[in-house]
Amino acid sequence: MRVAVRAVAVIAVVFTASGLAIGAINPPECPTSGHPGFRISKVSTNLCFQDLNKKYRHLYVPSPDSSVVLIVDGYEGRFVKNGKTLGQPFKVAEDEDIIWSPDSTAIMVTVNLERDLFSTTLAYTDPKRPQPPNITALVQKDSALRHPCVTASESVAVFGLSWQKGSRQAVLVAALPESCSGDSDGFDAYIIAIPEGAILGRYPQSVAQKKFHKVMLPP
């Protein structure tokens, strides 16, 4: 079974039972609010470029209640509230997807690190809040333990899918690498407690596609 996963700018991704297949595509139009639902999640926003060749990107992505705005200029991002920047500016990669938490206090960030390697982290808008858990490492290690075909935990690609239970749970997708080409499922979905960083549930592809159909892009 195949699950299509779309990408912005230079990469197209397809989940298969054997892992990830990569190919180049033409960039779509990029509104100032970012491009919605472009990789695997219907509720994600891709931080696309208006002109990738000239490295021009100006985005204004408000939180769900509009109390905080993520502003991206080129490769720099910042959270702004009531006209004031929260904390320090931070780097924004060329190919990132974000999902705002329902309570407007955090974003889930999926980054294409290299070719078929994707990582997902959390970023809090409040700079005084403790560091978020390393949700990618947590999922990668668990996936490697559950799938003997995973020869290195770092080869598991981790994507953000959605938030649930308000903002207390993050839903992630862990795509299996090429070494798992014989597996019937190409990915697992995970539910992670936030901020505790504990795994609350995991679902194989066949179950996840039904359970999370409202937020997961169709094949």
Residue 176 confidence (pLDDT) above 50: yes
The answer, yes or no, to whether the previous bond of 195 is cis (omega within 30 of 0) is yes
Residue 18 confidence (pLDDT) above 50: no
Which long-range contacts link 77-81 to residues 24+ away (Cβ below 8 Å)? 77/47, 79/125, 81/125
Q: How many other C-beta atoms can be found within 10 angstroms of the C-beta atom of residue 33?
A: 11
Higher pLDDT, 218 or 176: 176
CB within 8 A of 131, min separation 6: which ones? none
Whether residue 219 is contained in a domain is answered as no
pLDDT digits (tens, 9 = 90+) for 74-104: 999 999 999 999 999 999 998 899 999 999 9
Whether residue 72 is contained in a domain is answered as yes
pLDDT-derived band at 185, boundaries 50, 70, 90: confident
Residue 20 confidence (pLDDT) above 70: no
pLDDT of residue 184: 62
What average pLDDT does this structure show over 184-210? Answer: 94
Specify the range with the lowest mean pLDDT, choosing from 8-12, 14-18, 116-120, 203-207. 8-12
pLDDT of residue 218: 82
What average pLDDT does this structure show over 51-65? Answer: 95
Whether residue 45 is contained in a domain is answered as yes
pLDDT of residue 183: 61
Whether residue 7 is contained in a domain is answered as yes
Q: How many other C-beta atoms can be found within 10 angstroms of the C-beta atom of residue 207?
A: 13
Whether residue 92 is contained in a domain is answered as yes
Whether residue 216 is contained in a domain is answered as no
Domain count, the chain: 1
Domain residue limits at 37: 3-211
Whether residue 218 is contained in a domain is answered as no
Whether residue 163 is contained in a domain is answered as yes
